[in-house]
Amino acid sequence: MATISIGEEKSDPVELGENGTPQGSFLSPLLFNLALLPLPGLLKQIEGVDHAFCADDFTLWTAQAGSDAFAEEALQWAAMTVHEYAKSCGLSCAPRKLELLIIKPGKPNKEPPPNVTITIDGMATKPTQQIRISGLLLQSDGKAQAAVTKIKTTTIQILGVNRRVSNRN
C-alpha cells in the first residue's frame, strides 16, 4: 500500500502491484523530480559547489579556486547531502555509478591527479580519466580527444549506413 502526500494533504491508500512504473512512463521522472524538489536549495548552501541534474543523473562540481582539500571537502559534503536526502525520500544513490573527474585550470599537464576521494556508503571513488555527462565526454587533461573520437566513429557508422541504403536504389 502507498499514499501520496503533498504538505498536509494525503491520498487514500493505493495497493501497489508487483511491477514498478512502466519503462518510458512520464510518471517516474515526474515523481522523481517532485521528490527531489528541495534538494537544489540544500546544495546551494554548500560553499563552492554547483550542481545540475537531468532525469536521475546528478552532476556536482566545484570551480572555486583553492586547495585540493577544499574541493574534496566541498564535494564530499555535497555528495553526502544528495545521499542523505535521497534516503529520506526512500530513494538510494548508486555508489558504484559515482565518478570523479578532476580538471585542473590552465594548460593540460601530465601530473597525476591529486589524491582526492569521495566516499558514499563506504565505497570510495578515486579520480578517473574521463566521464560522460549528458552524452558529452569530458577528459581530466582538458582535451577533447575522447569526444572527437566518438563523433568520428559515429560519423563513419552513419556514412556506412547511408552508402548501403544508397546502393540499394
Residues 106-134 pLDDT 10s: 766 666 667 888 998 888 888 888 888 88
Q: What is the pLDDT of residue 21?
A: 57
Range of the domain at 112: 5-129
What pLDDT score was predicted for residue 33?
A: 82
Which residue shows C-alpha cell 585550470? 105
Domain membership of residue 139 (yes or no) is no
Could you tell me whether strands 136-139 and 130-133 are parallel, antiparallel, or unpaired per DSSP bridges?
antiparallel
What is the number of domains present in the chain? 1
Structure confidence at residue 85 (pLDDT): 93
The answer to the question of residue 46 being in a domain is yes
| Structural domain contains residue 150 | no
pLDDT at 159: 95
Residue ranges, the chain, pLDDT below 70 = 16-27, 65, 107-113, 169
Residue 88 within any structural domain of the chain: yes
Instruction: Note the pLDDT of residue 112.
Output: 62
Residue 140 domain flag: no
Q: What is the predicted pLDDT for the residue at 25?
A: 63
So what's the pLDDT on residue 57? 80
134, exposed or middle or buried, with CB in 10 Å at 0-12, 13-18, 19+? exposed
- pTM of model > 0.95: no
In a domain, 51, yes or no: yes
156 domain residue, yes or no: no
Decide if 148 is inside a domain.
no
Contacts of 80 (CB under 8 A, 6+ apart): 120
